[in-house]
């Protein structure tokens, strides 16, 4: 397999979607970092997030403002039919329950305008970063299930693009890494005591140092689905 090129989420998104003037939902928006980027690029962006803690962090940040965020889930999008130009899932689609993945894609088809896009960026279950995460939660199966759902979307969406790239993630230290892991799923906090020593060992063994930070290259897969001009049944 050819080694993927290094890139980042923002650069990859710019290759598939001109954000200026677009109405975009970021589903599973976390602390709102992508929503703020979308806003700076000229989009009307709304972040959707089921975690009250993450929503509080997003609403406290600028620029975007608290009005840019809503509590909700991908399988029940709070948007009118045909009202969005794009639905984004950045590192979040695999966090959906398995039985919600196809309904979430059907919902995306419902809310998209004709020729609108679903852009899903998902981590591959490989690499040093994945190895550090694996003791607290092995996401191999759910990431595979997410990939299969995106490969074979429901009526109203057709696959248009699939590409793999390396995104570098950096942490000030192990404590910041743990904070990010728990922010994505609060239930991981309960499992940490049994595995934290092993995770620290893997973190120190797998990281390279860049400007005083621990850096990991995470292979990512971007998949783009386009809404057909015919409405879904």
Tens of pLDDT, residue by residue over 35-69, are 999 999 999 999 999 988 888 888 888 665 556 89
Q: Is 154 a residue whose pLDDT tops 70?
A: yes
Q: What is the pLDDT of residue 233?
A: 52
Partners of residue 159 on adjacent β-strands:
225
Q: How far apart are CA 29 and CA 116, in angstroms?
A: 19
Q: Give the lowest-confidence range in 60-69, 97-106, 167-176.
A: 60-69
Closest CA to 81 of 116, 129, 127: 116
Q: What is the pLDDT of residue 230?
A: 61
Q: What is the pLDDT of residue 160?
A: 96
Strand ranges for the chain from DSSP E? 6-7, 23-27, 44-49, 69-71, 84-90, 112-123, 157-171, 208-210, 213-227
Residue 185 domain-assigned? no
Q: What are phi and psi of 153, to 5 degrees?
A: -70, 165
CATH number at residue 59: 3.40.50.150
- 54, 34 Cβ separation under 8 angstroms: no
Q: What is the pLDDT of residue 65?
A: 56
Residue 100 domain-assigned? yes
Please indicate whether residue 118 or residue 9 has the higher confidence score (pLDDT). Answer: 118
Residue 116 domain-assigned? yes
Q: How many domains does the chain have?
A: 1
How many Cβ atoms are within 10 Å of 149's Cβ, its own excluded?
20
Q: How far apart are CA 14 and CA 17, in angstroms?
A: 5
Tell me what the mean pLDDT of segment 216-221 comes to.
95
Q: By residue range, what is the domain housing residue 76?
A: 6-125+138-168+219-227
193 token code pair: 């005591």
Residue 47 domain-assigned? yes
Q: How far apart are CA 189 and CA 40, in angstroms?
A: 34
95 token code pair: 């966090």
Residue 184 domain-assigned? no
Q: How far apart are CA 219 and CA 150, in angstroms?
A: 17
Residue 188 domain-assigned? no
Residue 210 domain-assigned? no
HSE-up of residue 200 (Cα within 13 Å, Cβ side):
9
Q: What is the pLDDT of residue 2?
A: 55
Three-state secondary structure of 60-125: HCCCCCHHHEEECCHHHCCCCCCCEEEEEEECCHHHCCHHHHHHHHHHHHHHEEEEEEEEEEEECC
Residue 201 domain-assigned? no
């Amino acid at each position: 397999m050819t080694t993927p090129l290094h890139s980042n989420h923002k650069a990859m998104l710019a290759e598939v979607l001109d954000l200026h003037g677009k109405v975009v939902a970021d589903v599973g928006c976390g602390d709102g970092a992508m929503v703020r980027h979308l806003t700076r690029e000229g989009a009307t962006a709304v972040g959707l997030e089921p975690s009250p803690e993450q929503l509080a962090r997003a609403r406290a940040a600028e620029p975007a403002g608290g009005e840019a965020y809503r509590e909700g889930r991908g399988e029940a999008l709070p948007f009118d039919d045909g009202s969005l130009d794009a639905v984004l899932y950045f590192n979040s689609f695999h966090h959906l329950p398995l039985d919600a993945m196809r309904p979430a894609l059907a919902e995306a088809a419902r809310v998209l305008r004709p020729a609108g896009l679903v852009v899903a960026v998902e981590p591959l279950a490989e690499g040093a970063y994945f190895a550090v995460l694996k003791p607290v939660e092995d996401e191999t199966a759910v990431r595979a299930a997410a990939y299969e759902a995106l490969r074979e979307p429901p009526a109203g969406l057709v696959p248009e693009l699939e590409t793999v790239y390396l995104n570098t993630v950096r942490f000030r230290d192990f404590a910041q890494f743990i904070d990010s892991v728990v922010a994505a799923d609060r239930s991981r906090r309960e499992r940490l005591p049994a595995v934290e020593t092993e995770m620290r060992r893997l973190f120190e063994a797998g990281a390279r140092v860049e400007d005083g930070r621990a850096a990991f290259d995470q292979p990512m897969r971007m998949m783009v689905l386009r809404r057909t001009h015919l409405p879904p049944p």
